[in-house]
Amino acid sequence: MDFDEVADELYAVPPEEFVALRTQRQDEAKAAGDKALAKEIGALPKASAAAWACNLLVRGQRAEIEGLVELGDLLREAQEGLAGDQLRALDVQRRQLLTALTRQARALAHAAGHPVSTSVATQVEETLRAAMSDPDAGRALLTGRLTSPMSYSGLGTTVARPDLRLVHPPRPQRTERPAARPAKTAAPRKPAGESAADRRAREQEERRRAAEEKRQRELAAAQEAADRAEAAARDADEVLAEHRRATDELAAQEQELRARVEELADELAEAERQAGDAAAALRREERRRAAAERDAGEAAEARDRALARFRELEGG
């Protein structure tokens, strides 16, 4: 039994299954004679609802989460080199990516049978924002083993370390290898007879060209992250549209059934009223029948007496 495998398994199951599975794995470690591992497993804390949703998102959309963390790195590096309008464009892309991934986390949690509330979704978004703003927070999120949400205090600032609660983080894993840095070109040799003014102009032009190349690389990387964010947003919108259709269908079905229940209730009430009327009519008819039976009995007795008297007189 490997601790990392057990930890990954525990933080992937639904929250209500965590404690029972942790106890089971702890008992298995004890049975195998590994008391140290059993103690480590027993110390694993249960994840909050927001942390569980974030862990679920990392497992389901790891490439998008890595893109989120990389975009945060680019934004921090680009703050000094980009113009205001370019920074604003990147900030819009950042917000779009955060919104799309938060919707995706809610969709994944709903599909797993554990819809999250608005307040939990806000904690998920704050955790994603923290992962963009602080490298340690990004690495913590990528472990998929958060036990509580993380907080954000502004782009480029650090996240309070007490909020970085993760359990025995494994070595960072990436789905893609980082792009190789472009090889540095050797500085051109100083031309013979170059004046100091020409040299300064040449060096200034080289610095400007290098800064422009760096800016173009950063913009290309940011555009790639934005494209991934747009794709994630489209996927999340499709999932949301499907859930909306299902919700509308269920709402219509519920309304139809409620109308049918009301209709049946009215029919039942009418049937009960008619049954009451029939019972009252039955009781009245039973009384009349009893009276008619008495009258018929008395009439039969009178007839028998009259016939007997007639025969008596006729024989005499």
- What is the C-alpha to C-alpha distance for residues 29 and 22, in angstroms, rounded to an integer? 11
CB atoms < 10 A from the CB of 109, how many? 23
Q: What are the backbone dihedrals phi and psi of residue 174, each rounded to the nearest 5 degrees, phi first?
A: -130, 145
* Residue 33 per-residue DSSP state: T
- What is the C-alpha to C-alpha distance for residues 75 and 172, in angstroms, rounded to an integer? 21
Please answer whether residues 52 and 11 qualify as being in contact, where contact means their C-beta atoms are separated by less than 8 angstroms: yes
CA dist 209 → 74, 75, 86, 220, 246 (Å):
20, 21, 19, 16, 55
Domain boundaries, the chain: 3-42
- Is residue 152 classed as helix, strand or coil in its secondary structure? coil
- What is the C-alpha to C-alpha distance for residues 51 and 19, in angstroms, rounded to an integer? 16
Q: pLDDT digit of tens for each residue in the chain (316 aa)?
A: 789 999 999 999 998 999 999 999 999 999 999 999 999 999 999 999 999 999 999 999 999 999 999 888 887 777 666 667 777 777 788 888 899 999 999 999 999 999 999 999 999 999 999 998 899 999 999 999 999 999 877 544 333 333 344 444 444 444 444 444 444 444 445 555 678 888 888 888 888 888 777 777 766 655 665 556 555 556 555 554 554 554 555 445 555 545 555 565 566 567 667 867 777 887 888 888 888 888 888 888 889 888 888 888 888 6
Task: Determine if the pTM surpasses 0.85.
Answer: no
CA-wise closest residue to 231 among 57, 96, 75, 54 = 96
**Alpha-carbon torsion (61, 65, 66, 70), positive or negative:** positive
Beta carbons within 8 Å of 219's beta carbon, 6+ residues apart: 82, 86
CB atoms < 10 A from the CB of 102, how many? 24
Give residue 23's pLDDT.
95
CA dist 89 → 1, 85, 155 (Å):
49, 6, 15
Please answer whether residues 92 and 177 qualify as being in contact, where contact means their C-beta atoms are separated by less than 8 angstroms: no
Give residue 42's pLDDT.
94
- What is the C-alpha to C-alpha distance for residues 273 and 280, in angstroms, rounded to an integer? 11
Give residue 255's pLDDT.
57
Give residue 288's pLDDT.
87
Report residue 61 as tokens.
Answer: 């959309």
Strand-pairing partners, residue 166, are 146
Please answer whether residues 223 and 70 qualify as being in contact, where contact means their C-beta atoms are separated by less than 8 angstroms: no
The count of C-alpha atoms lying within 13 angstroms of the C-alpha of 153, restricted to the half-sphere facing its C-beta, is 7
